[in-house]
Structure 1
Amino acid sequence: MIARPSQAPSMPFAPPGDYSTGIRGGPLLPGSVSAKLTPSLADDVVSGPRGRYILAYSETAPTGQRLAIGIATLGLAEQVHIISAERGHLICTSSGSFDWTTPEPEHTQLWHRNTVGVRLPALIGPSGLVSNDPYLTLFELARASTRIGRLYPPSHYVEQKRWTTRVFYDLHAAVYRAGCLSSQVEYQREVDRVEQFFSDVDEHLSNSPYLTGDHITDADIWLFCLLIRFDQVYSPAFRLHRYRIRDFASIHRYSRDLYGRELFSMTTNFSAISTGYYRGIPFLDRGVTPIGPDDLFLR
């Protein structure tokens, strides 16, 4: 058993299970998940033999990218095999960098046996589905490891929970509500919510490199995974087209800085994002996948 830090933070933010996002298929709410990772299972994932568990995810969804980056940041990429539906197995090479390779047949079989009817991302083990909770899975893995401070520093717990709460309500859920609610008043409220959030984040980042403290935390990973989808999907498709990421100087700098890091850029798949949203969400599907934008605004 791996000894945990004595001052591990309490549970991070998770939204209520019945929050209305305006559309079925929006952010996965806790009340709809099929399985949740328990502390004892998290211990087994982290401490047991390597490669018995896989993270199965699609590069379309921000929740999958968030877990992929988070698990690799914790140094668990060899312990938990990170497998993308689009590009295969994300591995850590002998030089310490990352690359994509073909998954082992047994992991492909594990994926196919246990994800029918299950919304991804999903953590799967020898006995089947372990968790597809997008909010607490990463935290439980971090808490079971010796590296929880990398993503959930106890000294910044309150600030991080405040930011992740806002990331969900004021961006992740708000973009769906803006795009799908039919009332002009409700639509305007959500647009104002997103724009106020961007204004507050931009001001905060003008004096700080990250949302909390002096290094990347889960709050930054979650925010990045939404920001890189904003200009491509949320702004044009969900009626939030007044502003772009580059209109906020500090957010633009922050997004470019994170995208310049290997794990963030390697797990960003603009083609999969466009196809997944514009062909996978019925009210957006016109039979074509829009072209662009590419990553020029992030270079």
Structure 2
Amino acid sequence: MAGDGEFKRDKRYITTRITADGRDGFPVEPGRYRLVIARACPWANRAAIVRRLMGLEDVISMGVAGPLHDERSWSFHLDPGGKDPVLGIERLQEAFFAREPGYPLGITVPALVEVSTGRVVTNDFEQITLDLGHEWAAHQRDGAPELYPRARRDEIDDVADKVFEDVNDGVYKCGFASSQEAYGRAYQRLWDRLDWLEERLTSRRYLVGDTITEADVRLFPTLVRFDAVYHGHFKCNRQKLTELPALWAYARDLFQTPGFGDTIDFDQIKAHYYVVHHTINPTGIVPEGPDTSGWLTPHGRDALGGRPFGEGTPPGPPPRSERVPSPARE
């Protein structure tokens, strides 16, 4: 937290990479690593989406921490016996300590963990998705899409940087601001950027080009959590997502695209934010709403054209063990 009450994210991560040539000592190898996520976390959501789109479910196993954690880190409290069934640990902290005893920085998801040693390899969430898309190419499914095409990387990076600063992290800058002035600045930047996105998406189906790219993967996790959490809990309440025609339709379009909505568990999302953030919600009461069945309503975005997977194809259904509840039940 800055002296003026502005929330400052600690972006010091373990930047070791898993690469095809193994230059950091961790080569791409099926079965060697386990991706640890939490359904609640938007940063981890990105990795879960890309893993699905690339068809890497049988190549990189996935552990799912529960929505609750304390100062010691994310825990596997939803797994039988309260332990990850592959890594055999109760808390993600154990994998970080196996890498560096007393690890002093944030213990965050997503994290890639080497199964044989139990050591975390990296928690650099931005690089993880890029590497899943490229370094693991030899093991991706037939028809895996190109999320970071070389010809559009500059534009993707520009849009993604704006989205990160003002929207992905912007909602946190609103929610965790400790002064009215800092909150006001973050709120203005958030809504200026959402208005920019609303205008951009009125005439185009996706953020960059006519296919889904890394930019869409990065925006979606914030949008899907907006009405359930950020609008009220983080005081981002000028409008609801459902009141922004282009963004709401765009978000539903992605939600109904295989690989996106099938990674979302609204109950776990709400449980995390409303229970864990004691300073914002000291009672720990989790709201019943909002109704999420609207995520499955027609979006009409097909009229804008575009090819969601480019020359590729949709991924198949998620493994049975990774399926999440459908919002239709609500």
User: TM-score surpassing 0.5?
Assistant: yes
2:109 to 98, 112, 120: 120
Tell me, yes or no, if the aligned pair for 1:45 and 1:79 is still in contact at 8 Å: no
Query: 1:181–1:122: structure 2 CA closer, same or farther, 3 Å change rule?
Result: same
Match of 1:271 in 2: 267
Give the gaps of 5 or more residues in structure 2: 68-78, 98-102, 297-330
Q: Following TM superposition, by how much is the alpha carbon of 1:232 offset from its aligned partner in structure 2, in angstroms?
A: 1.1
Match of 1:36 in 2: 16
Query: 1:37–1:161: structure 2 CA closer, same or farther, 3 Å change rule?
Result: same
Separation (CA, whole Å) in 2 of partners of 1:238 and 1:201: 20
User: Match of 1:114, as an amino acid?
Assistant: A
Match of 1:209 in 2: 205
Match of 1:84 in 2: 64
Runs of 4+, deviation exceeding 6 Å: 42-46
The alignment's TM-score, normalised by the length of structure 2, stands at 0.71
Match of 2:223 in 1: 227
User: Match of 2:136, as an amino acid?
Assistant: S
Separation (CA, whole Å) in 2 of partners of 1:247 and 1:21: 30
Q: Single out whichever of 159-168 and 133-142 deviates more from structure 2.
A: 133-142
Match of 1:109 in 2: 88
Separation (CA, whole Å) in 2 of partners of 1:250 and 1:105: 40
Match of 2:72 in 1: none
Q: Following TM superposition, by how much is the alpha carbon of 1:139 offset from its aligned partner in structure 2, in angstroms?
A: 1.2
Match of 2:76 in 1: none
1:245 to 236, 241, 244: 241
In the TM superposition, what whole-angstrom CA distance separates every residue of 1:119-139 from its partner, at most 9, and x where no partner exists? Answer: 222101133111111111121
In the TM superposition, what whole-angstrom CA distance separates every residue of 1:227-270 from its partner, at most 9, and x where no partner exists? Answer: 01111111101111111112211111111111112321221111
Question: Partner of 2:260: helix, strand, or coil?
Answer: helix
Paired residues for 1:8-23 under 5 Å: 22-23=6-7
User: Match of 1:61, as an amino acid?
Assistant: C
Tell me, yes or no, if the aligned pair for 1:35 and 1:129 is still in contact at 8 Å: no
Q: Following TM superposition, by how much is the alpha carbon of 1:214 offset from its aligned partner in structure 2, in angstroms?
A: 1.4
Q: Following TM superposition, by how much is the alpha carbon of 1:82 offset from its aligned partner in structure 2, in angstroms?
A: 2.2
Separation (CA, whole Å) in 1 of partners of 2:150 and 2:110: 26
Number of residue pairs aligned between Structure 1 and Structure 2: 262
Q: Single out whichever of 266-275 and 142-151 deviates more from structure 2.
A: 142-151
Q: Following TM superposition, by how much is the alpha carbon of 1:42 offset from its aligned partner in structure 2, in angstroms?
A: 8.3
Q: Following TM superposition, by how much is the alpha carbon of 1:111 offset from its aligned partner in structure 2, in angstroms?
A: 7.5
User: Match of 1:228, as an amino acid?
Assistant: V
Paired residues for 1:17-166 under 5 Å: 22-23=6-7, 29-31=10-12, 33-39=13-19, 40-41=21-22, 47-48=28-29, 50-86=30-66, 107-109=86-88, 113-114=94-95, 118-125=107-114, 126-127=116-117, 128-146=119-137, 150-166=146-162
What is the RMSD of the two structures over their aligned residues, measured on CA atoms?
3.0
Match of 1:281 in 2: 277
Query: 1:71–1:106: structure 2 CA closer, same or farther, 3 Å change rule?
Result: same
Separation (CA, whole Å) in 1 of partners of 2:257 and 2:5: 31
Query: 1:297–1:192: structure 2 CA closer, same or farther, 3 Å change rule?
Result: farther
Separation (CA, whole Å) in 1 of partners of 2:5 and 2:199: 27
Match of 1:294 in 2: 291
Tell me, yes or no, if the aligned pair for 1:45 and 1:80 is still in contact at 8 Å: no
Separation (CA, whole Å) in 1 of partners of 2:208 and 2:292: 26
Separation (CA, whole Å) in 2 of partners of 1:289 and 1:149: 37
Separation (CA, whole Å) in 1 of partners of 2:40 and 2:156: 25
Separation (CA, whole Å) in 1 of partners of 2:234 and 2:250: 23
When you count helix as a share of all residues, which structure comes out higher? Answer: 1
